[in-house]
Amino acid sequence: MVFDRTTFHTVYGHDLLRGLRETVPAPYLLVTMRELWGISRGQLEGEDLAHLHFVESLDLEHLNRLVVELPKASSVIGIGGGKAMDTAKFIASRRNLPLFQMPTIMSVDAVFGHRSAVRVGGYVHYMGWAVPEVVYVDYDIIRKAPPYLNRAGVGDVFSIHTALYDWKLATEQGKARIWPWDEELASESRKVLQMVRDQTREIYEVSEKGITTLGEALRFTGAIYHNTGWNPRSVEGSEHHFFYALEYLTQKEFVHGEAVCLGILLMSVLQDNDPEGIWRSIADVGVRVSPQALGVTWQDVTRALNQTGRLAEEKGLFYTILNDREITADSIGVVKQLLGEPLR
């Protein structure tokens, strides 16, 4: 079987907003962030703009109100990061409208996912269904963002490193449920992981080659969940479960890929799965992963680690290393050493 990585029609180039304005069915709903309005102002405002919505929350109740209260429109445009992409997807899905997406950063694979990562009671739930007519990746717009945001996108690719270990472990323990180990899919995923690890310098520089490489990898990780029969196991594991727990317990918003990369480090140590090697790749890209950079403490991290397995079980998530081994102070100490932080 050849796994389809081209579900989301994606265009890379320059001055893509101009063509978007000339193409999208009007009147359109524009979903973006208040601080990003300047990117499309003058290009997408005017009589064709049915409504401008600045993203506030991914809470399910809030999103459901938007679907009811926003003005009628013929299409939806999402411009921004993961929150804007997920909000635009949710509205387009519920209203059955054509969707056009333009990410302004490459920090997460949300633009290439079929479902929206909404929050229910503060915990992530994926729901809805939307496939954009086109995803436009404008090099100049992407490079306007702070580089650390674009570098963070490797989190949803480097997660393959720990996810595949979790998947194989679950299969060996008879806990794989409906997703037994698939070596062909695992091999395909490893190729995507290696493709990004081979271009860490370009991704660090946020060059056109780096943006394209990361974009193509995220197109795989975002879409493969659906394209393999709703099977998340090749790209998501304990590292994402840690992120969900950290967000839920701290009630803080994180740059997705940064928190996931911290989870990758922690879980690779627990798995005894080449933590030094994956740390070199993360460091080469320049992803910020220390708790201080994320705006939390090691106490927050430890609390999330201790609760990740329980929360994953409560939410019906799948079997990972956290069901098999316990996090210890020694494991956290190894990560602190990798980060060059004092053990106390």
Residue 343 identity: L
pLDDT digits (tens, 9 = 90+) for 8-61: 899 999 999 988 888 999 999 999 999 999 988 888 988 999 999 999 999 999
> Which residues does 159 contact at the CB level (< 8 Å), separation at least 6?
221, 235, 236, 237, 239, 240, 260, 263, 264
Residues 308/322, Cβ–Cβ less than 8 Å: yes
Residue 1 reports pLDDT greater than 70: no
pLDDT digits (tens, 9 = 90+) for 52-108: 999 999 999 999 999 999 999 999 999 999 999 999 999 999 999 999 999 999 999
pLDDT for 21: 85
pLDDT digits (tens, 9 = 90+) for 279-322: 999 999 999 999 999 999 999 999 999 999 999 999 999 999 99
Helices (H), 173-297: 183-197, 200-205, 208-227, 238-250, 256-271, 275-285, 291-294
CATH class held by domain 147-338? mainly alpha
The domains of the chain are located at 10-144, 147-338
pLDDT for 5: 57
* Dihedral pair phi/psi, residue 119, rounded to 5°: -110, 130
pLDDT digits (tens, 9 = 90+) for 198-251: 999 999 999 999 999 999 999 999 999 999 999 999 999 999 999 999 999 999
pLDDT digits (tens, 9 = 90+) for 139-193: 999 999 999 999 999 999 999 999 999 999 999 999 999 999 999 999 999 999 9
Residue 114 reports pLDDT greater than 80: yes
CATH number of the domain located at residue range(s) 10-144 in this protein: 3.40.50.1970
pLDDT for 2: 44
Residue 343 reports pLDDT greater than 70: no
pLDDT for 181: 98
d(CA 141, CA 111) in angstroms, rounded, equals: 15
pLDDT for 7: 74
Helices (H), 96-182: 139-144, 147-151, 155-172
CA distances from 20 to 10, 31, 45, 102, 324 (A): 13, 14, 12, 9, 49
Closest CA to 257 of 223, 292, 218: 218
Stated pTM of the model:
0.93
Residue 344 reports pLDDT greater than 90: no
